[in-house]
């Protein structure tokens, strides 16, 4: 598996780098903190990431092309690439950076890479369940603790909520990278369980399976409950046919009565 994953990067500098960085035991001890720093890059996950077409030296610069690497070699930051590329403007990286600077995470000196591993990062798609799973796993990398259940005791059926919505829905306001302090998080059920809920304009806004519901049903359901959208559709179809049948019956009676006269 290891060799086959690396072979996908044949004839690139990435294959050269992965000869070392593809080993799970590669690490070093930080002289200033004494912590062990993991240098392992999973070749399989990198091949499936959004950055897989980039060679390592695209972000790590030519200083890393020789071994041993210099201790002060330059690394590129996200916006060094994502700020001016016209193809990436719709993703709002500049706005994301500003939101992050105003978040609680910035105050404790975290960076983009604290949550988004550039060697594994992959857009989670448009399926809400996949988005919830992917985003919540990022949060739980740091916040998985037995105290999590205790701190969420105010929340009815917390496990059901965590399967249906992201941590971000309650711990941010508008910009999802502007993480709020815990004391400022949303604890008002109405903010999600109403027709004007911000959740409907973020996680559940115009999904591929939900545009019809948004236009016709106006999403009156409580998000996360056991709603079956097929029943909604068939109910609407039956209602249309019923009204159509009544109209046809009435029209038939009217025409028959006119003929008798």
Instruction: Indicate the pLDDT class of residue 31, thresholds 50, 70 and 90.
Output: confident
Confirm whether 143 is domain-assigned.
yes
Q: How many separate domains does the chain show? A: 2
* pTM over cut 0.85: no
Determine the Cα–Cα distance for residues 26 and 37; give it in Å rounded to an integer. 9
Contact criterion met (CB below 8 Å) for 59 and 118: yes
- Both 56 and 97 in a single domain? no
CA atoms within 13 A on the CB side of 21: 19
Q: Which pLDDT score, from 0 to 100, does residue 242 have?
A: 94
Confirm whether 256 is domain-assigned.
no
- Both 137 and 122 in a single domain? yes
Determine the Cα–Cα distance for residues 165 and 172; give it in Å rounded to an integer. 13
Determine the Cα–Cα distance for residues 139 and 54; give it in Å rounded to an integer. 27
Domain boundary among 37, 56, 76: 76
- Both 129 and 151 in a single domain? yes
Q: What is the mean pLDDT of residues 19-39?
A: 90
DSSP string, 24-70: TT-EEE-TTT--EEE----HHHHHTSTTTTS-HHHHH-GGGGSSSPP
- Both 95 and 131 in a single domain? yes
Lowest mean pLDDT across 15-24, 26-35, 198-207: 198-207
- Both 8 and 33 in a single domain? yes
Per-residue pLDDT tens digits for 104-152: 999 888 889 899 999 998 876 667 788 889 899 999 999 988 888 888 9
Domain boundary among 138, 157, 192: 192
pLDDT at residue 160 above 60?
yes
Confirm whether 197 is domain-assigned.
no
Contact criterion met (CB below 8 Å) for 132 and 166: yes
Determine the Cα–Cα distance for residues 182 and 78; give it in Å rounded to an integer. 27
Q: Which pLDDT score, from 0 to 100, does residue 208 have?
A: 44
Confirm whether 31 is domain-assigned.
yes
Lowest mean pLDDT across 74-78, 86-90, 151-155, 257-261: 257-261
- Both 91 and 72 in a single domain? no
- Both 157 and 112 in a single domain? yes
pLDDT at residue 209 above 50?
no
pLDDT at residue 195 above 90?
no
Q: Which pLDDT score, from 0 to 100, does residue 191 have?
A: 81
Name the strand (E) or helix (H) holding 247: helix 229-260
Contact criterion met (CB below 8 Å) for 77 and 116: no
3-state secondary structure of 12: coil
Instruction: Indicate the pLDDT class of residue 206, thresholds 50, 70 and 90.
Output: very low
Confirm whether 257 is domain-assigned.
no
Q: Which pLDDT score, from 0 to 100, does residue 21 have?
A: 92
Contact criterion met (CB below 8 Å) for 203 and 131: yes
Other Cβ atoms less than 10 A from the Cβ of 224: the count is: 19
Please name the residues in contact with 134: beta carbons below 8 A apart, sequence gap of 6 or more.
124
- Both 61 and 91 in a single domain? no
Other Cβ atoms less than 10 A from the Cβ of 211: the count is: 11
Confirm whether 43 is domain-assigned.
yes
Q: Percentage of the chain with pLDDT > 90?
A: 23
- Both 35 and 132 in a single domain? no
Confirm whether 167 is domain-assigned.
yes
For all residues of the chain together, what is the average pLDDT? Answer: 80
Maximum pairwise Cα distance, the chain: 104
Determine the Cα–Cα distance for residues 27 and 20; give it in Å rounded to an integer. 10
Determine the Cα–Cα distance for residues 173 and 214; give it in Å rounded to an integer. 22
Instruction: Indicate the pLDDT class of residue 231, thresholds 50, 70 and 90.
Output: confident
Tokens of 231: 């029943």
Q: What is the mean pLDDT of residues 236-245?
A: 92
Domain that residue 155 falls in: 78-192
- Both 64 and 104 in a single domain? no
């Amino acid at each position: 598996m290891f060799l086959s994953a690396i072979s996908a990067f044949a004839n690139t500098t990435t294959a050269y780098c992965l000869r070392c960085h593809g080993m799970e035991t590669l690490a070093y001890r930080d002289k200033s903190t004494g912590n062990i720093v993991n240098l392992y890059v999973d070749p399989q996950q990198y091949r499936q990431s959004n950055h897989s077409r980039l060679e390592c030296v695209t972000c790590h610069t030519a200083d890393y092309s020789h071994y041993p690497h210099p201790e002060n070699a330059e690394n590129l930051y996200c916006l060094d690439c994502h700020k001016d590329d016209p193809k990436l403007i719709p993703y709002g990286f500049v706005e994301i950076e500003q939101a992050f600077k105003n978040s609680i995470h910035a105050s404790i000196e975290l960076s983009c890479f604290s949550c988004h591993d550039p060697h594994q990062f992959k857009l989670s798609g448009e399926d809400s369940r996949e988005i919830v799973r992917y985003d919540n796993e990022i949060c739980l990398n740091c916040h998985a603790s037995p105290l999590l259940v205790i701190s969420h005791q105010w929340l009815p059926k917390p496990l059901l909520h965590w399967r249906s919505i992201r941590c971000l829905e309650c711990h941010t306001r508008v910009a999802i990278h502007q993480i709020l302090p815990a004391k400022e998080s949303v604890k008002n059920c109405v903010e999600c369980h109403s027709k004007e809920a911000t959740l409907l304009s973020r996680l559940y806004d115009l999904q591929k399976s939900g545009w019809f519901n948004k236009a016709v049903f106006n999403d009156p359901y409580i998000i996360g409950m056991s709603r079956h959208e097929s029943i909604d559709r068939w109910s609407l179809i039956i209602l249309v046919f019923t009204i159509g049948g009544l109209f046809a019956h009435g029209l038939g009676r009217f025409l028959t009565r006119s003929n008798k006269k």
